[in-house]
Amino acid sequence: MAMKLKLLELTDEKARILFEGEGYTYLDALAAELLNDPGVDVAQRKQAFKFTDPELVVTTVGGRSPLDAVIDAAKRLSGYAGEKSDLTVIALDADPAMARIAQETAAGRTDRVAPVIGDVHRMPVRDDTASLIVSRGSLFFWEDRVQAFREIERVLRPGGVAFVGGSFGTAALRDRIFAQMRRRNPNWDRDVARRSGQATHDQLRRELAASAVACSRIREEEAGFWVEIQKGSGCF
């Protein structure tokens, strides 16, 4: 999906860019990557309120074009998951149809993306394998979240972290998704409320405690929440 950007200010040494519908995670990564550029003096995400779109402010030195710096940093971020990286992605799903979709989506990256059919309660993955685990929306459908949390910790390598939950990134993006889903499913709001009621924060905290994972927390965002599980290397 292409990002929607709006150029708010541009001079020879400064750029302010609004990222419509984006959360802070990507912008923070982009800002950090920009600061690796010796021609970049400042790279900072700014957001007036939680419900407003974030903007990136970049200033440069030595004649470096701020737009070129942003473009180059974005390319480097993409490269970390492409040719310049040894990153491998395990696309796990219990539904064989989803595995086929993952395989089609990863066309040209079959050496880096491995679709795997499996169950979160018993993942066909060795201990201490994954540096990062991400799953949005699935935990509402898990039959035994206590066991799933244990499995996630098992599969994480020391220093690894998992994010599972139901955040939509930003309120604007959530509203657009909800509008589309309501057209497809007239009972969308009722279904969301029912699933959310089965995974309240208090209930999730009890399940995390019962799982005995060493380090976990629930992090709320403007458009949802994440359950974070970390393995080794301290605790958040």
Range of the domain at 75: 4-80
Six-digit token string for 82: 């492409």
> Total structural domains in the chain?
2
The answer to whether the beta carbons of residues 148 and 119 sit under 8 Å apart is no
Burial of 63 (0-12, 13-18, 19+ CB in 10 A): exposed
Single pTM value for the model: 0.65
Residues 134 and 213 in one domain: yes
Classify residue 123: in a domain, yes or no. Answer: yes
Give domain status of residue 225, yes or no: yes
Lowest mean pLDDT among 1-15, 29-43, 179-193: 1-15
Mean pLDDT for 193-204 is 88
Q: What is the DSSP string of 101-141?
A: HHHHHTTT-TTTEEEEE-BTTB-SS-TT-EEEEEEESGGGG
- Dump pLDDT digits (tens) for 84-97: 456 788 889 988 88
Secondary structure class of 209 (helix, strand, coil) = helix
Kind and range of the H or E run holding 213: none
pLDDT, tens digit, for every residue of 141-171? 899 999 999 999 999 998 888 989 887 777 7
User: 192 falls in which pLDDT band (50, 70, 90)?
Assistant: confident
